[in-house]
Chain A
Amino acid sequence: MRQNSITIYGRPLVYGACEGYTLVSDEPISFYGGVDPSTGRIVEKGHPLKGQKISGKILIFPYGKGSTVGSYILLRLKRKGLAPSGIINLESEPIIIVGCIISQIPLMDRPSIELKDIPNNRLIKMVVSRDKAFITW
C-alpha cells in the first residue's frame, strides 16, 4: 500500500536538487577537526554520529560550530566525492553557508518541523530554488 508522500518546506539558501538517505544529528557539527576530509566520516570525540559516513547523505543538523576553516573542509570533501548530497540546518551560519556555496551543495534551513521529526536513514528528495526549498519522501 502506498503511503501519502510528505513534504516539508524550509528557507532556500543554496540552490540545487538531490536525493539521498537522511543522516540526522541533534548535535551541531564541526567540519574542521570533527569530520575526516579523507574518509568523510565524523571523528569528533563524543559526537552522537561518531564513525558515521556523511558522504552522499542528506545531512541534517542544527548548525555548524568550530573553526571557520570548516568551509574549506566541505569543499575538500566535495572534490574527493565524499561530501553530503545536501544539507538541512535548523539555522545555518556562515561556516556552512560559505562551504555550501563554494562546494555547490544544496542547503536549506528553518524546516517547518523539528529536526528530530525528520526520519533518519530515509530516502528523500531535496529541492532548493530561488523561491522555495522543500524535502519530500
Chain B
Amino acid sequence: MYLTKEEERILDGEMGEARQLAMEVVVKVGEVMNAEKLIPVKSAHISGVSYKNIGDEGLEFLHELRDKGGMFTVKTTLNPSGIDLDKWSRMNSDEKFAKKQVEIISVFREMGAIPILTCTPYFYVDINAGDHLAWAESNAVLYANSVIGAFTNREGGPLAVFEAIVGKAPYVGLHLKRNRFPSVIFDLKNVRDYVKERGLYANLGYYIGYIAKKGVPLIRNIPEGLREKDTLKLFLAAIGASSGIGMVILENISPEYLNIMRENLSCLETLAPDVKEIIDASEKIQKSNLEDVDAILLGCPHLSLNDIRRIAIFFKYRKPKKRVILFTARQLKRPAKKYVELLEKNNVEVYYDTCMVVADLRRMNVSSCIVDSAKAAYYLTAQGYDVKILGLDEVLKVATE
C-alpha cells in the first residue's frame, strides 16, 4: 500500500505512541482489504460507547490511548451510551454502571470527541455529497451514502477510534466510485401502496437486507412516504440490521441515481416482491400476535425534531393509556423543549444520550414492547425481549387504547 512520507513517519512512531498504534491498525486493515492508499476523512463516528459493550478493559484501553497522547484529528461523534447522562436514576440504572459510563464519555471528550451521543449524526454534523467519512453505526453509514451521497464504509466501532486519531481510512469499498454501482434491483411496484398505507417502511427495509445480504441494491418504485427523512432512517436502519449492506441507491432520492440512470442495467437481476414476502421476512424478529405489552418504545434510530413534534401533537389530543418511552439526541433538548414538556405532561418518558438497544430495559421494568423499528426488533428479540413491530400511526393508536 502506498503511504505518504508523513504516514510513514507516524508509523515509525515519530508522532507519538498513540498515533503509531492507530496508524498500524488502519494500515493493516487497509493492506488486508487491498487498499492502494489511505483517504483523508472529514468526520468520524464511533460505535461501541456503552459500558455494557466495552467493559472495564475497553475503558482502561481508552485511558491508555489518551495517556499516550491519542487525540482525534477530525470531527468525531459518538453512538448512544447505556444511560441518559442526567436522568439515569429515573431509568433505574445502576450507580456503578452510570459512573463507568460517564467516565467512558469523559475519556472520549478528552480525546476531542464532540459529545453528540446519537446514532443519527447525519442530523447534527455538517456533511455533504462527496465527503469521505469514517463512520461506524450501520444506519448512519446507510444514510450518509444513500441519502446524502457521502462516501463511507461500514467501519467497526474500535476501528473508527483509530481512524479518528489518524484522520484517514483505507481507500476501499464504498470510498471508490466504481463500487457504488447497483448489484441487484428491487422493484417495489407490488408492495408500495400496502407499505405506505400501513407505514411498514422498517419491515420493507428488513426484507431487502435479508434477501440481498450485501452489495448495493437499486430500489425502484419507492413508496411515496419513503421520501421523508424520518421514514428513510427507519427503512435504512432495518437494511443495516438484516445485512452487511452499507449503501442502497434509491430512485430519485440518492445522489448516485443521477449517475446510473443512463446506464444499461439490463444485466442485473430484478426482484419484485409481493406483500407476503415482505411480511414473512420480519416474522423471525417479532411476535406478531403479542397482545399486552409493558411499553411502547420509539426512537430507533433516534427520533428527529419532526418525529417528536408529531408524537407530542398526537398525544395532546389523545392521551396515552400505555407506557410510552422515547429516545433521542440531547441536541434536541432545546429545540424540542415545548414538545417534550407537553409529552411529559402526558406521562410520556423522554430520554437523551441512550436508546432502547443499549439501555437496560429490564431495569426499566420492560420485558415486552411495541416498536416501529425492525432494527430494534432484531436486537431486542436477540436479547430475549418480546417485541412487536407496527407502523408509527398504528403504534400511536395502540398507545391510546
Contacts and interface: CB of A to CB of B under 8 A. Distances in A.
Partners in one complex: yes
Interface of A: 13-14, 32-33, 37, 67-69, 71-72, 75-76, 78-80, 92-95, 97-99, 101-102, 109
Given A68-B47, A71-B156, A72-B158, A98 B25 contact: yes
Contacts of B29: 94, 97-98
A10 to B, nearest CB: 13
A92 to B, nearest CB: 6
B55 A102 contact: no
A98 B159 contact: yes
Contact of B57 (A33, A72, A93): A72
A72 B32 contact: no
A79 B158 contact: no
Interface string B49-84: 000011111101100000000000000000000000
B48 A102 contact: no
Contact of A13 (B32, B33, B156): B32
A14 B162 CA distance: 16
A79 B60 contact: yes
Contact of A98 (B54, B158, B382): B158
A70 B156 CA distance: 9
Interface in B147-189: 155-159, 162
Nearest to B153: A94
A119 to B, nearest CB: 26
A80 B382 CA distance: 27
A68 B25 contact: no
Interface string B16-36: 000001001100110011000
A95 B156 contact: yes
Given A68-B47, A68-B48, A97-B28, A75 B159 contact: no
Contacts of A72: 48, 53-55, 57-58, 61, 157-158
14 contacts: A68-B157, A68-B159, A69-B53, A71-B156, A71-B157, A71-B158, A72-B54, A76-B58, A93-B32, A94-B29, A94-B156, A98-B29, A98-B158, A109-B32
A37 B28 contact: no
B136 A68 contact: yes
Contacts, number: 76
Interface string B239-264: 00000000000000000000000000
Given A94-B156, A98-B158, A76 B28 contact: no
A75 B47 contact: no
B401 to A, nearest CB: 35
Nearest to A38: B55
A94 B162 CA distance: 12
Contact of A69 (B24, B32, B33, B158): B158
A82 to B, nearest CB: 11
Contacts of B53: 32, 67, 69, 72
A75 B136 contact: no
Nearest to B53: A69
Given A72-B48, A76-B55, A94-B33, 8 more contacts: A68-B155, A76-B56, A76-B58, A92-B32, A94-B155, A97-B29, A101-B24, A102-B61
Contacts of A92: 32
Given A13-B32, A92-B32, A102 B158 contact: yes
B291 to A, nearest CB: 27
A55 B40 CA distance: 38
Nearest to A14: B28
A109 to B, nearest CB: 8
A69 B61 contact: no
A86 to B, nearest CB: 16
Nearest to B162: A98
Most buried by B among A78, A94, A101: A94
Contacts of B157: 67-69, 71-72
Nearest to A91: B32
Contacts of A75: 57-58, 61
A130 to B, nearest CB: 12
Contacts of B60: 79
A80 B57 contact: yes
Contacts of B32: 13, 92-94, 97, 109
A32 B136 CA distance: 16
